[in-house]
DNA sequence: AACATAACTTACTTTTAGGTAAGTAATGTA
DNA sequence: TACATTACTTACCTAAAAGTAAGTTATGTT
C-alpha cells in the first residue's frame, strides 16, 4: 500500500467529490428501487430542504450518476433515475453501510447511544 | 434493497460520521504503513493546517480509529497509529479508491481534466 | 540570553455548505 | 377569480467547517 499512496488517495477523493456531502448518500440509498420523484424523495429523506434536494440532484445528474426525466405535464412531473454508471456506486455504498452497521452494533454493545446517525428533521415535514 | 432502506442509510451515515469530511480519508490513506508523526503527516498531506490536522486526529482517536502515543521528550514526540478496529475501514477505503480510480479514467477518456481531486496546497509548505 | 524544536492550545476570522423565504410557470378545480 | 398543484429559480441568510495567527511548554544548542 505504501507505494500506491497517491493514487489510493486520489481515488478516494474522486469518489468523495461525487458522493460526499450531507445528503447525497441518503438520496442514493433511496434511488435503488427505480425512478423516483422529488416530492417522494423529500418524504423519505426527512429534513432535506427543497432547494438543497434540487442542488444535490443536479450535481448527481452533472456527474452522470442519475438522469432527469421531464414529463411535460401540469403540474410538472419530474423523475430521477440512477444511471447504469450510477449503479456502480453500489459497491461503495454497501461497503460503507456494512462498516457503519458494524460500528452501530459496536457502540450499542458498549452501551453508548448512537446519535448523529440521522439528520434531525424539523421543518419541511411535508 | 427496498426493505432495508433505513438501516442501509444508517450504516452509510455512521461511516460518514467517522471518516467523512475533507481530510480524514487522506489522513487514513497515509496511516496504513505504520505509526506516523504529525509533522510527517503535514508533509504528505499538503495543504492541511496544523490545527485542522490536530482536530481530525483527535476525532479519529475519539472514534477509536487511531491511537495516540506520547513519548515524554523535549521537543515533544507524538505518534499516531491505526488501531485494529481502524484497519477494518480499509474495505471502505479500497472500495472508494477503486471506484474513484475508475471514474478518473472515465473522465480522462472523455478528454476532461480531472480537477478537484486534490486539495490545493498553498501555505504551510512545511 | 536568545533561539530552535514539536505538538500543541486559544482566540479569532474566513469560507462554504446548507437553509429560508418568496416568487414563477401553466393548468385544473372550487 | 381565487387557489391548489409540482418543481423549480432567485436572492438572501446562517451555522458549521476550515483556516490563520499568536501564544505555550521544556529543554538543548549557539
B25-73 confidence digits (pLDDT tens): 999 999 999 999 999 999 998 889 999 999 999 999 999 999 999 999 9
B96 with A12: Cβ contact below 8 A:
yes
Distance, first Cα to last Cα, chain B: 47
Residue B70 pLDDT: 96
For chain A, give the percent of residues with pLDDT over 70.
85
User: Which chain B residues touch A89 with a CB distance below 8 Å?
Assistant: 99
Between residues B124 and A101, which one has the greater pLDDT?
A101
Most confident of the following: A5-14, A40-49, B93-102:
B93-102
When computed from its CA atoms, the radius of gyration of chain B, rounded to whole angstroms, is 17
Q: Is B19 left (phi over 0), alpha (psi -120 to 50) or beta?
A: alpha
Most confident of the following: A57-61, A107-111, B119-123:
A57-61
Cα gap A105→A97, rounded to integer Å: 12
| Minimal C-alpha gap between A74 and chain B (Å) | 30
Residue A121, pLDDT above cutoff 50: no
Closest residue, chain A, to B92 (C-alpha): A95
Supply A79's cell numbers. 423523475
Q: Is B15 left (phi over 0), alpha (psi -120 to 50) or beta?
A: alpha
A96 with B16: Cβ contact below 8 A:
yes
Cα gap A54→A24, rounded to integer Å: 11
Question: Which of B119, B52, B54, B63 is closest to A104 using CA atoms?
Answer: B63
For chain A, give the percent of residues with pLDDT over 90.
67
| Residues ≥6 apart with Cβ < 8 Å to B78 | B37, B38, B68, B69, B70, B71
Mean pLDDT of B66-81: 95
Do the beta carbons of residue A9 and residue B118 sit within 8 Å? yes
Q: What is the mean pLDDT of chain B?
A: 86
Q: Is the CB of B20 under 7 A from strand D?
A: no
| Residues ≥6 apart with Cβ < 8 Å to A115 | none
A33 with B104: Cβ contact below 8 A:
no
Between residues A65 and B21, which one has the greater pLDDT?
A65
Catalogue all structural domains in chain A, each as residue range(s) with its CATH number.
22-109 (1.10.10.10)
Q: How confident is the model at residue A82 (pLDDT cuts 50, 70, 90)?
A: very high
Question: pTM value?
Answer: 0.87
Q: Which nucleotide is nearest to A41 (CA to C1')?
A: D7
Q: Which 8-state DSSP code applies to residue B72?
A: -
Amino acid at each position: 500500500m505504501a507505494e500506491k499512496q497517491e493514487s489510493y488517495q486520489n481515488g478516494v477523493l474522486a469518489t468523495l467529490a461525487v458522493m460526499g456531502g450531507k445528503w447525497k448518500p441518503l438520496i442514493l440509498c433511496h434511488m435503488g428501487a427505480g425512478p423516483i420523484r422529488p416530492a417522494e424523495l423529500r418524504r423519505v429523506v426527512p429534513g432535506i430542504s427543497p432547494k438543497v434536494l434540487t442542488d444535490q440532484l443536479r450535481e448527481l445528474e452533472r456527474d452522470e450518476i442519475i438522469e432527469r426525466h421531464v414529463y411535460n405535464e401540469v403540474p410538472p412531473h419530474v423523475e430521477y433515475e440512477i444511471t447504469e454508471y450510477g449503479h456502480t456506486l453500489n459497491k461503495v455504498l454497501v461497503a460503507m453501510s456494512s462498516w457503519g452497521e458494524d460500528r452501530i452494533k459496536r457502540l450499542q454493545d458498549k452501551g453508548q447511544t448512537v446519535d448523529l446517525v440521522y439528520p434531525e428533521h424539523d421543518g419541511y415535514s411535508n
